[in-house]
Amino acid sequence: MSQMPAKGNSVLITTMVGLFVIAVLGGLLIGKKSTPKNPSPEQSSSRGQFLYQGMCASCHGSEGRGDGVSAQNLKSAPRDFSLRPWKTLIDLPSIKKVIVEGIPGTVMPGIKNALPESDLDSLATHVLKLADQNPSPTMKVFSKTDQLASDAGFVLVANSAAPLLQLEDEQGNKSKLSDYKDKTVMLHFWGVQCPHCLKEMESLLKIEKSFQGKSFVVLHVCTDEEDAKIAQQIASKYAPGIKIVVETSGIGLARYEVQTLPAFWLVGIEGRTLARSTGARDWASNPCLTFIESLIPN
C-alpha cells in the first residue's frame, strides 16, 4: 500500500490521529525509564495495563468492551474483546500482529515499531486478559454477508449515508456520488504515484466489464493529481478504456478517511455505506466476485 499525500482537512481524522500519537508518546515517554529489561510477571502485568490505558482504552474502553470515550465518533465500532467469535485466533501472536499492523480497511491503526518487544508482550498479554475475563455469554452471530466480506478482504461498516463526493472527468463533465443512488458503487481511490494502484487498474476494468448491464459501477477517483486529463492519460496506459475522475471539493477524500492507497468503499442503493477495504488484491478471485455480486440489486 502507498501512503496518501496530504490533501484536504478532516477534523475527525486529525483528532483521532492526534489522540493516537499523544497516547503512543505518552505511553512510551512517561514509562520509558521505569521499564525493566527483564520484568517480573507482576511488573509486566502492571506495564501492560498502563500501556493499554494510554494507547487503547479511549476506543476499546478500560475493560475492553468497545465503549471508550472516542468509540461513538468512529464509523465502525471498536472490538468488544468479550464477544465471540473473533475473526482471528485469540492468542498472543495474533493479538500482537493486530497491534503492530492494525486492521486494513478499519480505523484500527498499527503502531509499527513504536514499542520494544517487552512492552508489546505486556500490552498483548493485557488484551488477552481482558478477552478471557468475563466473556459475554451472548455469542455474536456473523451473517453470511459478514463472511463474504471477510473472504473478499472487506470490512462491513455502519449502514449510514455515504459522504458527499464532487467529481469531474477529463472532459470537464461534473457528477456527484448521489447521481448513482440506484446502483451499487465501488469507490476506488487511487493515485498516479501509487504503483500498486496502477498495477491493478486492468483487473478492476475487467470487474466493471464482468458486471456490465447490472446495477453496478466503479468510480476511479484519483487522489494525487488535480488535473483529470493528466490522471486519465496515466491510467489509460495501464488499462486502456478505463474512465477516471478527480474529486474537486478538496475534502471528499478526508470524509472517506483515505490514508493509504489503494482504498475502496462499497456504497449501496440510496447512497448507503456497505463496506470498505484497503490494499491491492486479486479482483478476479471468486471471493471478490461473489461478495460484489451479493450487493448488486436485482
Give the Cα-Cα-Cα angle 284, 165, 261 (nearest 5 degrees): 45
Structural domain span for residue 62? 2-132
Torsion of CA 110, 115, 116, 121, to 10 degrees: -70
The bridge status of strand 263-267 relative to strand 184-190 is antiparallel
Closest Cα to residue 121, out of 105, 99, 153? 99
257 domain-assigned = yes
Q: Are 235 and 291 part of one and the same domain?
A: yes
Do 244 and 190 lie in one domain? The reply is yes
- Whether 273 maps to a domain, the answer reads yes
Instruction: Give residue-wise pLDDT tens across range 6-63.
Output: 444 444 444 444 544 444 444 444 344 445 566 676 777 889 899 999 899 888 888 8
**pLDDT tens across 191-209, in order?**
999 999 999 999 999 999 9
- Kindly report, residue by residue over 106-155, the tens digit of the pLDDT: 778 889 889 999 999 999 999 999 888 766 554 444 568 888 888 898 88
Question: Is 84 in the same domain as 169?
Answer: no
Closest CA to 146 of 155, 138, 134: 155
Are 51 and 186 in a shared domain? no
Separation of alpha carbons 29 and 46, rounded Å: 16
